[in-house]
């Protein structure tokens, strides 16, 4: 059996930055509770992307949940959410007993369609809008921000997949009222599991830190005046994040190399189209994704790769097609369904060598020989 090629697996720094901070946590005995690594990870991410405040949390999902709570979303409130996304974007809406309304994507960005968003505002008065930067591609966030400001609604950016991506030179996750990032094992940098909520509203981030530490009041005894959550990141995990943040730019460069390698190899195959990269967008290319035309279907590609011990994945199945969420309203033309039905996420692991990429392309090219 040939060596396995992964879709996107954890990639620790060659310099061993992570172990330095982990060892420091062990040496000071700050293992599980909060500590210096948590504080510094928040500060260093703030400085990297240019926001005022951050809260290191247990997952990106927890960060979305806390963003919704900070925005005042509660029982019966409407929240607009992209349909073409992972369920972690939509689940926290349900946690807050709110009602999701799913918005279609457009072909130009694969992200929330500003036209469909405008139509949704004609029908509903939402409490918040969640926009996703899918696969590291920036949404047309400039247009979406203008729409949300005109309607005076809170904008939350789900940048779980887009750390390092810029829109017109500014990092995604910094345009809305709140931004969230994920450090899950398959993301461009990882803490094994974890997330971050960022905002320029330092007061609300401070409140999120309080909620996510079980809402423990300042009292000698254990006293709780509000509902709390066990959502804070541990000091060891934050140490991994500090080390990983040092190699983020290097990881973005390698992800771009992978994307461009595929694009060059498949440039003569008319049936393969690549995810859209706009002139105002510098993606982190988290996953290199394609859509297929003609007789060859995504399942054919995925099965052939799997046979050669190569991992790939379908495009996210839209939320309005999911059994749990299909009862909720959907605004759009069904473009998200088309991308799902015709799309494949290709291996985008930053540890791959060019010979691994050559092997992947060889398997795929056989279909057009």
Range 352-365 average pLDDT = 98
CATH number at residue 96: 3.40.640.10
Give me the count of residues in the chain: 369
The C-alpha atoms of residue 102 and residue 90 are separated, in whole angstroms, by 9
To 10 degrees, what angle do helices 36-49 and 17-28 make?
A: 150
Contacts for 244 with CB less than 8 Å, ≥ 6 apart: 12, 13, 17, 18, 183, 189, 190, 191
Answer with the one of 195, 214, 245 that is the final residue of a domain: 245
Position 2 in a domain? no
Q: Are residues 95 and 130 in the same domain?
A: yes
Retrieve residue 205's tokens: 């981030």
Beta carbons within 10 angstroms of residue 225's beta carbon: 9
For the chain, the domain total comes to 2
CATH number at residue 258: 3.90.1150.10
Q: Name the residue with tokens 């959410």.
A: 81
% of the chain with per-residue pLDDT over 70: 100
Is residue 159 within 8 A of residue 136, CB to CB? The reply is no
**Interval 309-336: pLDDT, tens:** 999 999 999 999 999 999 999 999 999 9
Residue 59 lies in a domain: yes
Residue that terminates a domain, selected from 198, 220, 245: 245
In angstroms, the CA 10 to CA 239 distance is 15
Residue 1: per-residue pLDDT = 60
pTM above 0.85, yes or no: yes
Determine the pLDDT at residue 91.
Answer: 98
Does residue 326 sit in the same domain as residue 187? no
Instruction: Measure the CA–CA gap between 184 and 60, rounded to whole angstroms.
Output: 8
> Is the same domain home to 114 and 232?
yes
Asked if residue 312 is part of any domain, the answer here is: yes
Q: Are residues 122 and 162 in the same domain?
A: yes
Within a domain: 77: yes
DSSP string spanning 175-231?
Answer: SSSEEEEE-BTTSSS--BS-EEEEES-HHHHHHHHHHTBTT--SSSS---SS---B-
Of 199, 228, 245, which marks where a domain is finished?
A: 245
Q: What confidence score (pLDDT) does residue 33 get?
A: 78
Q: Do 236 and 261 fall within a single domain?
A: no
Residues 127 and 83 in one domain: yes
pLDDT average, residue stretch 276-291: 97
Range(s) of the domain holding residue 216: 17-245
Give the mean pLDDT of the chain. 97
End-to-end CA distance of the chain: 25
- Considering the domain architecture, whether residues 202 and 58 belong to the same structural domain is answered as yes
* 5 found inside a domain: no
90-105 burial: b if 16+ Cβ within 10 Å, else e = bbbbeebebbbbbbbb
Residue pointed to by tokens 């017109």: 168
- Band of pLDDT at residue 32, cut at 50, 70 and 90: confident
- What is the radius of gyration, based on Cα positions, of the chain? 21
Specify whether 182 is located in the same domain as 284: no
One domain, residues 252 and 220: no
Query: Over the stretch 73-102, which tens digit does the pLDDT of each residue have?
Result: 999 999 999 999 999 999 999 999 999 999
Residue of 122, 114, 123 whose CA lies nearest to 141: 114
**Are 200 and 338 in a shared domain?**
no
Chain centroid, CA 327 distance in Å = 25
The helix (run of H) or strand (run of E) holding residue 333 is none
| Under 8 Å between Cβ of 234 and 242 | no
pLDDT tens, position by position, 212-231: 999 999 998 999 999 999 99
Is residue 30 situated within a structural domain?
A: yes
Distance CA 82, CA 69 (A): 19
**284 & 309 share domain:** yes
Instruction: Return all residues near 47 (Cβ < 8 A) that are at least 6 apart.
Output: none
108-163 per-position pLDDT tens digit: 999 999 999 999 999 999 999 999 999 999 999 999 999 999 999 999 999 999 99
Calculate the dihedral angle through the C-alpha atoms of 44, 252, 314, 362, rounding to the nearest 10 degrees: -160
Q: Report the SS3 class of residue 343.
A: strand
Assess contact for 98 and 78: CB atoms under 8 A: yes
Residue with the two structure tokens 């969640």: 130
Query: Does residue 195 sit in the same domain as residue 277?
Result: no
- Quote the distance between the C-alpha of residue 220 and its chain's center: 39
Does the residue 262 lie in any domain?
yes
Q: What's the confidence (pLDDT) of residue 237?
A: 96
Residue 271 lies in a domain: yes
Span 158-199, pLDDT tens digits = 999 999 999 999 999 999 999 999 999 999 999 999 999 999
């Amino acid at each position: 059996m040939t060596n396995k090629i992964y879709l996107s697996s954890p990639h620790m720094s060659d310099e061993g930055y992570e172990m330095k901070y982990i060892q420091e946590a062990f040496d000071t005995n700050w293992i599980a509770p909060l500590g210096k690594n948590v504080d510094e990870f928040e500060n260093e991410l703030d400085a990297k992307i240019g926001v005022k405040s951050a809260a290191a949390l247990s997952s990106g999902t927890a960060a979305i949940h806390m963003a919704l709570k900070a925005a005042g979303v509660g029982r019966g409130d409407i929240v607009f959410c992209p349909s073409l996304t992972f369920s972690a974007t939509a689940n926290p809406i349900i946690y807050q007993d709110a009602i999701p309304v799913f918005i279609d994507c457009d072909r130009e960005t694969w992200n929330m369609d500003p036209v469909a968003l405008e139509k949704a505002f004609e029908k509903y008065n939402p409490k918040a809008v969640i926009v996703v930067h899918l696969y590291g591609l920036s949404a047309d966030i400039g247009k979406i921000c203008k729409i949300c400001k005109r309607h005076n609604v809170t904008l939350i950016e789900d940048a779980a997949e887009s750390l390092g991506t810029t829109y017109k030179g500014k990092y995604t996750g910094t345009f809305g009222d709140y931004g969230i990032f994920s450090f899950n094992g398959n993301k461009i940098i990882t803490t094994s599991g974890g997330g971050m909520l960022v905002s320029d509203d330092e007061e609300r981030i401070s409140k999120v830190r309080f909620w996510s530490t079980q809402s423990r009041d300042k009292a000698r005894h254990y006293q709780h005046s509000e509902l709390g959550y066990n959502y804070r990141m541990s000091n060891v995990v934050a140490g991994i994040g500090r080390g990983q943040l040092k190699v983020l730019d290097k990881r973005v460069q390698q992800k771009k190399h992978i994307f461009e390698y595929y694009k060059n190899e498949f440039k003569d195959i008319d049936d393969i189209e690549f995810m859209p990269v706009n002139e105002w967008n510098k993606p982190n290319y988290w996953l290199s994704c394609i859509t297929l035309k003609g007789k060859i279907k995504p399942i054919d590609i995925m099965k052939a790769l799997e046979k050669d011990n190569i991992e790939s994945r379908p495009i996210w199945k839209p939320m309005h097609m999911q059994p749990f969420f299909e009862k909720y309203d959907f605004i759009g033309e069904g473009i998200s369904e088309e991308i799902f039905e015709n799309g494949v996420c290709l291996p985008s692991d930053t540890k791959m060598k060019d010979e691994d990429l050559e092997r992947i392309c060889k398997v795929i090219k056989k279909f057009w020989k």
